[in-house]
Amino acid sequence: MRIGDLAEKSGLSTDTLRYYEKIGLLPRPLRDGGGRRVYDATILRWIDFLDRLKSTGMGIKDRLRYADLRTKGEASLTERRKLLEAHRGKVAGDIARLTEMLDVLDDKIDRYRRMEAGETVDPAFESCARTEHGAPPSKEAPKHEHRPGARPRADAET
Amino acid sequence: MRIGDLAEKSGLSTDTLRYYEKIGLLPRPLRDGGGRRVYDATILRWIDFLDRLKSTGMGIKDRLRYADLRTKGEASLTERRKLLEAHRGKVAGDIARLTEMLDVLDDKIDRYRRMEAGETVDPAFESCARTEHGAPPSKEAPKHEHRPGARPRADAET
DNA sequence: GTACCGGTTGGAGTGCACTCCAGGTCAAGC
DNA sequence: GCTTGACCTGGAGTGCACTCCAACCGGTAC
């Protein structure tokens, strides 16, 4: 299989495949007589998994780290597991956040719909509120921290 | 409230707040005698919602579009709703993808753990394979079914 | 034998979303 | 009056993840 075929099968562009090889995400393939890359179909499994990691929010650095560990064989099992466990945690958190947002959106969409129908709708009461002013942001920006205790608050963001 | 206070309360940096104002995500605030921005606390609702949109994967362009519609008042209700509905679809899709990944990860983590314990584990047989784009949404993957030799897709990505 | 297609390389360019900086103003505290 | 610290502006710089490009090469079809 040459790079064009792999591109088609994997859904990545040839440029991206070469880029991934350059940074080390993909192993260096064999070359044919004319110096062209020749791939084994098994590479598709790996590309698929990489793609999954990416599409669930793992950045290139961590994917690179995982790829690097993978080349080290059995010795890296524990580290690889830990990396995946960390990612699992992130994914679970993302699911929680997204699920919460689904409610917020449904609420808001519903209110919009009622307003479009001419109904008088009380000021948005959900959704946009996250931090209750009591919790001090504690200086260090708690980046993507999610507060499960967030309560709805009167809201003027229509 | 001045920009420093708002930064602390919103979790955004003053630079980011000014940047958001520059591109139009935030309305231009009033200024005090010395030309400094003075904010009303209600802006926090809006920032919170923007932040939620962002953290659920809405890019700056769409947030900008929404912000722009918002300034147009009632006339833009329908368009705003459509935008949110589109985002809702995206969020629902993301949840599905992430949830699927959770299974993949659990499977893989489990196998790693067994391998670490010295168990002989059959070649990774799951996970990395996605529905090859030959079989469309045959989605119902046999989730937690332990298949001792089902598909011809033995996989070397350990 | 030449047109064409698909491949090769290194390097430059893109879009997003900030983040940082220089050089300045303003208000309050000592 | 002077220092300090928060704030102002415009613009440059950063990191990620590609994406595009020029210039070239090798194999096949006509």
DSSP-assigned letter for residue B2: B
Closest CA to A64 of A8, A122, A22, A6: A22
Q: Check residue A124 and give its pLDDT.
A: 62
Is B35 (CB) below 7 Å from strand C? Answer: yes
Q: pLDDT tens for residues B25-51?
A: 999 999 999 999 999 999 999 999 999
Q: Check residue A120 and give its pLDDT.
A: 84
Contacts of B133 in chain A (CB under 8 A): 11
> Does the distance separating the beta carbons of B156 and A56 come in below 8 Å?
no
Q: Greater confidence, B121 or A43?
A: A43
Question: Would you place residue B124 in the very low, low, confident or very high pLDDT band (cuts 50, 70, 90)?
Answer: low
Q: pLDDT tens for residues A56-74?
A: 999 999 999 999 999 998 8
* CA nearest to B93 within chain A: A98
What is the distance between the alpha carbons of residues A6 and A140, in angstroms, rounded to a whole number? 45
Q: Check residue A129 and give its pLDDT.
A: 45
Share of chain B above pLDDT 70, in %: 77
Q: Say if strands A30-31 and B30-31 run parallel, antiparallel, or are unpaired.
A: unpaired
Q: Check residue B119 and give its pLDDT.
A: 85
**How far lies A47's CA from each of A26, A87, A95, in Å?**
8, 18, 24
Render each residue's pLDDT in chain A as its tens digit; 158 residues: 999 999 999 999 999 999 999 999 999 999 998 999 999 999 999 999 999 999 999 999 999 999 999 999 889 999 999 999 999 999 999 999 999 999 999 999 999 999 999 888 876 644 444 443 333 333 333 333 334 434 344 345 66
Residues 45-64 of B with CB under 7 A from strand C: 54, 59-61
**Number of Cβ pairs < 8 A linking chain A and chain B:** 130
User: What does the mean pLDDT of chain B come to?
Assistant: 83
Please list, in sequence order, all residues whose beta carbon lies within 8 angstroms of the beta carbon of residue B83, skipping any fewer than 6 positions away.
B62, B65, B66, B69
**Residues B57, B61, B67, B69, CA torsion sign:** negative
Domains of chain A: 3-71 (1.10.1660.10)
User: Mean pLDDT over residues B88-102, rounded?
Assistant: 97
Would you call A84 an interface residue with chain B, using a CB distance cutoff of 8 Å? yes
* Burial status of residue B71 (CB atoms within 10 A of its CB: 0-12, 13-18, 19 or more): exposed
> Does the distance separating the beta carbons of A109 and B91 come in below 8 Å?
no
Please list, in sequence order, all residues whose beta carbon lies within 8 angstroms of the beta carbon of residue A45, skipping any fewer than 6 positions away.
B128, B129, B153, B155, B156, B157
What is the distance between the alpha carbons of residues A12 and B156, in angstroms, rounded to a whole number? 21
Chosen for mutation from A9, A40, A82, A101 (greatest number of chain B CBs closer than 10 Å) is A101
Phi and psi torsions of B84, nearest 5°: -70, -35
CB B128 within 8 A of CB B155: yes
DSSP-assigned letter for residue A29: P
What is the distance between the alpha carbons of residues A141 and B105, in angstroms, rounded to a whole number? 29
Q: Check residue B120 and give its pLDDT.
A: 84
pLDDT exceeds 60 at position B106: yes
Please list, in sequence order, all residues whose beta carbon lies within 8 angstroms of the beta carbon of residue A82, skipping any fewer than 6 positions away.
none
Q: Which helix (H) or strand (E) holds B9?
A: helix B3-10
What is the distance between the alpha carbons of residues A49 and A43, in angstroms, rounded to a whole number? 10
